[in-house]
Each structure stands twice: as C-alpha cells, then as structure tokens.
Amino acid sequence: MESQSKSSKDGASARGDVKMAERPPMAVRCPDLLLRALALALTLAAAVMVGVDKESKTVSVTISQSLTLHVRATAKWQYMSAFVYFLVSNAVACSYAAASLVYVTVAGAARSAKAALAINVLDTVMMGLLLSASGASAAIGVIAQHGNSHVQWNKVCHAFGSYCHQMAAAFTLCLVGSFAFLLLAVLYVMDLHKKAMSR
C-alpha cells in the first residue's frame, strides 16, 4: 500500500512536472507580455515618426559667382532607400509584435511548446531585422549630419535640422525596440535552460 501510495504520489508529481514544463512560470510570462507590448509601442512609434517626418525649405544653390538659385526642397522618407527599409522593417516588427502579443495573451499557458519555440526564433529574427534597419539609417544619418568630403557628399542636416532630429529619435526608438526583442529571446532561453537543468 505504501509502495502504491508512493507510486501514485510520484505519478502526480510527474504530471505536475509536465504541466510545469508546458506552462511558463509567471515570473517569465509577465516580463514577456510587457516586453512584447514595449516592442510593439516602440516600433510603431518609430514607423509613424519616420512616416510623418517631412520638412520643406528654400535652399540656395550657387551655380556661378553671379547666379544663385533659390530652390524649394523637401526631405521625406521616400527619397532615401535606407529610410524606406527602416520604415518597412519597423512596420513588419510592429505587426509581428502585435500578432505575437495577441497570441501569447489568448493562448496563455495553453500554448504549445513548438509555438513558443517558433516565437523565440521569430523574436531573434525581428531583433536582427531592426538592427540592420538601425545600421542603415545610422550610416545615412552620419553622412547627412557631417557630410563626406572624399566622395563629395555634402551634409544636409544643417538645412533640414527638424527632419534629422525626428529621424534620430526614430532611430533610438528602433534600437531600444531591437533590445526588447533580444531580451525576449534571452528570457525564453533562460527559462528553457532552467527547465532542462531541473531534470
């Protein structure tokens, strides 16, 4: 009887372990939801900031000593492929963050282990996507701010200061968003690691 009772207790404990394995602990699930919501907000803000960023100025262009033209010039994201990539990447990451947030909230503890694994891989991919977009926009931003005399690319931020500041703010949001995705990936791996080591 004692042996049976022990076996039954062990069985219950084993079932409890399986449940624990399928259900991420609360300490991990709360930061997961918060970080996902943060990534959603940051990438949405970054995409919107770039999308609405537009500045028009009258710029003086010197053709010769006696001829100076005054041209109305506009700065907007469609004019630079790096900013198009930046906006699209943030929109993709934002859509993914929204979809994964809904899934994680609705499925909750009932979500399958394979789905959790797929979400982890996608979190990592989103981090990479946002970092590549940040790199692209930063590279253009540096030239726009300081120019490059070696290739005769003149700086433009002295004329479109407001546009450049807004782009820099969007870049910062995107960078923080990518760190949120990195943290999501690391938290999941640490949780898996604990489970694997507690065998």
Binding site for a second copy (CB under 8 A): 3, 17-18, 21, 64, 73, 75, 79-82, 85, 113, 117, 120-121, 124-125, 127-129, 131-140, 142-144, 148, 150-154, 156, 178, 182, 185-186, 188-190, 192-193, 195-197, 199
User: Which of 2/26 has CB closer to a second copy?
Assistant: 2
Shortest gap between Cβ of 32 and a second copy (angstroms)?
15
Spatial CB neighbours of 181, under 8 Å, sequence gap ≥ 6 = 39, 93, 123, 124, 126, 127, 130
Tokens of 179: 């760190």
Shortest gap between Cβ of 126 and a second copy (angstroms)?
11
d(CA 64, CA 154): 18
d(CA 99, CA 107): 12
Shortest gap between Cβ of 40 and a second copy (angstroms)?
19
User: Which of 9/193 has CB closer to a second copy?
Assistant: 193
Shortest gap between Cβ of 121 and a second copy (angstroms)?
6
Q: How many CA atoms does the CB half-sphere of 155 hold within 13 Å?
A: 10
d(CA 8, CA 40): 46
